[in-house]
Amino acid sequence: MEARIRALNTQLAGWIAYFSLAQTRSVYEDLDRWIRRRLRMCLWKQWKRGRTRLRELRALGFPEWVARQFAFSRESYWRMASGPMNRALGPAYWRAQGS
């Protein structure tokens, strides 16, 4: 995940510098939300098994019953990245990771 974030930061820095003259703040905000959701989805995919997801959700501070409900959910990766993972892995988490 660290290598992915590092590569993404390099690409985004160049892209934003190239388009910095554009007055499109909302486009950047939408892109930022989409990228964070995509990173959450990749992280959820990394935690392949239910037991791993349960352990990681507990470590993120979810109550036991909520962690169990989400860890063993059959929802798609993309859908899980929007709801439950968004609460635990918000912008502050990703800033701490370096993105």
Whether the Cβ atoms of residue 30 and residue 17 lie closer than 8 Å to each other: no
In tens, the pLDDT along 31-86 reads 888 888 999 999 999 999 999 999 999 998 889 998 898 899 888 888 888 877 88
| Domain segments of the chain as ranges | 2-97
Measured CA to CA, the distance from residue 54 to residue 17 in angstroms comes to 40
Closest CA to 49 of 65, 85, 80, 73: 73
CA distances to 5, 22, 39, 49, 64 from 96, in Å = 11, 28, 14, 25, 25
Q: How high is the pLDDT of residue 77? A: 87
pTM: 0.77
Per-residue pLDDT at 99: 65
